[in-house]
Amino acid sequence: MYILAVIIIILGANDSAVFAIMQTPDYIKNIVEKLEQAGFEAYIVGGCVRDLLMARQPKDWDVTTNARPEKILEIFPDGKYKNDFGTVLVPVKPANGEAEDVVEVTTYRSEQGYSDRRHPDQVRFEDSLEKDLSRRDFTVNAMALRLITHNSQPVTQMRDKKSYELRDASYELIDLFGGAKDLKKKVIRAVGEPEDRFKEDALRMMRAVRLACQLGFMLEPKTERGIVKMAGSIKFISGERLRDELIKILETDKAYEGIMMLHEFKLLQYLMPELERGVGVAQNRHHIYTVFNHSVLSLKHTPSKKWQVKLASLLHDIAKPQTKRISSGQEATFYNHDIIGARVTEKIMRRLKFAGQDIEKVTSLVRNHMFYYNVGEVTESSVRRLVRKVGEENLADLIALRVADRLGSGVPKAKPYKLRHLEYMMEKVRHDAVSVKMLAINGDDLMKLLGIAPGPKIGAILDVLLSEVIEDQKLNDQKYLETRSLELNKMDLKELREKAKEKIEEKKMEDDEEIKKEFYVK
Ligand code: ATP
Ligand code: MG
């Protein structure tokens, strides 16, 4: 069916060939040799071949063979056959003392019928490598590499004579679809008809964008058109699988390009329609960009490598379209877009099945991205309140989000004096008491002192104490807190709760007033 292209590369003929052979661990060579000695074909295949040829360290190693799973198990008795797709997991011990790993050894196979747009209805074992390679998604992922060692056996099937005359060469590259050429051209090209391949498995569209970001490649035009045409079928893919690809895109340093590709290829409207609502939505005189452009540019300029912070940058203004008001023909306002934005962010992340702690972190960053800060005006106690709300561990990330927000607005300076001063203030209050745990008195002390049983009242008294200590750290003194607790103990639970809340509300209003004063503070 395909014109067979067996390229023989002699050691030394090509730099990446030398690299490939050097980088292939002995345990992989051993697996290949053992399979060949038992009379089977064996190749390393897929993503690891692509990475080797690009002189990148492969993340994992895959071996493909014409041996059926039961034969693979005979050769590797401690292997585990876990599924029906021909994959045997062979445990290996890397020589460099790293933890034990597994290598996936998979029988050649083909896949038929994808009525649900994500799983093949049937998987069939095959006898030829060509069949196996043609089921793979992209040309750069559809190459196989045969390692030729001293113990290698000549392989008769589908090899021309030349290959064993030259069997002292380091390896043979089996490249039926022009993968090596596409690696050179830096393009992601579907194997076969793009539209058909995306119809079979819609996740491949996300994989194409993810690989382009990871490798710094472009999509080949026909592959790109295939995605635009089939984009709607992404809705058949589970949230978890979309999330995994999205995280991988955000983790690369091409996250901005990745989100723009998703937008241009019409995938983003299914993944995060809320973000697309910002397209064409103008802001006010403080902003030169529309909401959508500002969002993606904030992502682009995020100084943090953490995907959670990048996602927060992308989503921080997600609620601007629905909170936009134009009062008396004047400037647009976006009151509460931070609070509502946190809710929208949570909704998006729940839909995409993100982990609870990631949802908490990203929503907290979005909720707090408008914090007010002006040198000289803002007190240590308000910085402590901010630290309490955001959590000490998230402060650097909140600053990173603010830098992203500024740079994404087209404001040239990354970190103005104001933000540097805030960092200084944060450092200054770093060891101050901002949580109940940091008070000079704890629940046990209170129970003994007041002679009361464990219960909500203890917690309520601690909350009031904390709200007062946040305002004035000098009060965090055991003697004083004991005296104050005796006073507070005269109040009932309801009064105590109101008192703690009052303090928070009162301070929140002060903060809000400040924000309003400057309207939108950068
Ligand atoms: P990485 O391991 O760096 O995430 P990879 O390309 O190795 O990237 P894997 O998910 O490990 O990706 O898959 C290994 C190989 O299996 C791929 O290189 C590709 O040949 C094939 N493959 C994986 N997923 C698909 C898919 N959805 N459709 C077709 N082939 C696939
Ligand atoms: Mg892989």
Whole-model pTM above 0.75?
A: yes
For residue 201, the ligand 1 atom closest to its alpha carbon is: 27
Q: Which of 116-125, 127-136, 165-174, 358-367 has the lowest mean pLDDT?
A: 165-174
For 75-109, how does the pLDDT look when each residue is reduced to its tens digit (9 = 90+)?
999 999 977 677 999 999 877 777 788 899 999 99
| Nearest alpha carbon to residue 385 among 466, 487, 492 | 466
Please tell me whether residue 520 adopts helix, strand or coil conformation: coil
CATH code of the domain in which 193 resides = 1.10.110.30
Write the pLDDT tens digit of every residue in 282-326. 888 778 899 999 999 999 999 999 999 999 999 999 999 999 998
Task: Looking at the CA of residue 248, tell me the nearest atom of ligand 1.
Answer: 4
Task: Note whether 233 and 316 are same-domain residues.
Answer: no
Q: Which domain holds residue 31?
A: 6-185
Closest Cα to atom 13 of ligand 1: 47
Beta-carbon-side half-sphere exposure of residue 205 (alpha carbons within 13 Å): 35
Q: Is 46 close to ligand 1, i.e. is its CB under 6 Å away? A: yes
Structural domains counted in the chain: 4
- Boundary of a domain, candidates 250, 271, 292: 271
Q: What is the pLDDT of residue 522?
A: 37
More confident residue, 121 or 504: 121
Rounded-to-integer distance, Cα 481 and Cα 485, Å = 6
Ligand sitting nearest the alpha carbon of 136: 1
Residues 111 and 56 both lie in one domain: yes
**DSSP character string of 378-446:** S-HHHHHHHHHHH-GGGHHHHHHHHHHHHHTTT-S-SS-HHHHHHHHHHHHTTTS--SGGGSSS-HHHH
Let me know if residue 33 belongs to a domain.
yes
Whether 169 is in a domain gets the answer yes
Residue of 41, 16, 4 whose CA lies nearest to 147: 41
* 8 Å CB contact between 213 and 247: no
| Torsion sign across C-alpha atoms 286, 292, 295, 298 | negative
Provide the 10 A C-beta neighbour count for residue 382: 21
Quick one: which atom of ligand 1 is closest to the CA of 204?
Answer: 27
Same domain assignment for residues 44 and 148: yes
52 within ligand 1 shell (Cβ under 6 A): no
Q: Tokens 């982990």 map to which residue?
A: 355
- Cα–Cα dist 267/270, whole Å: 6
Output the average pLDDT for the chain: 87
Of 412, 432, 452, the one marking the end of a domain is 432
What's the average model confidence in pLDDT over 3-10?
39
364 C-beta closer than 6 A to ligand 1: no
Rounded to 5 degrees, φ, ψ at 42 are -150, 135
- Are 107 and 11 members of one domain? yes
Please state, as a whole number, how many other Cβ atoms lie within 10 Å of the Cβ of residue 285: 8
Which one, of 170, 153, 168, 162, lies nearest residue 42 by Cα?
153
Residue 59 CB less than 6 A away from ligand 1: yes
Q: The tokens 């400040």 sit on which residue?
A: 514
Ligand nearest to the CA of 50: 1
Looking at the structure, tell me whether residues 349 and 292 fall in a common domain.
yes
Handedness of CA 129, 134, 136, 138 (dihedral sign): positive
Residue 111: per-residue pLDDT: 87
Encoded amino acid at 514, one letter: E
Q: 417 and 286 share a domain?
A: yes
Q: Which range, of 203-207, 409-413, 458-462, 508-512, averages the lowest pLDDT?
A: 508-512
Domain boundary among 216, 240, 271: 271
Q: Is 117 in the same domain as 175?
A: yes
Q: Percent helix, strand and coil across the chain, each rounded to 5?
A: 55, 10, 35
Q: Which ligand is nearest to the CA of 202?
A: 1
Ligand 1 and 146: CB distance under 6 A: no
Residues 305 and 261 in one domain: no
- The reply to whether ligand 1 has any atom less than 6 angstroms from the CB of 141 is yes
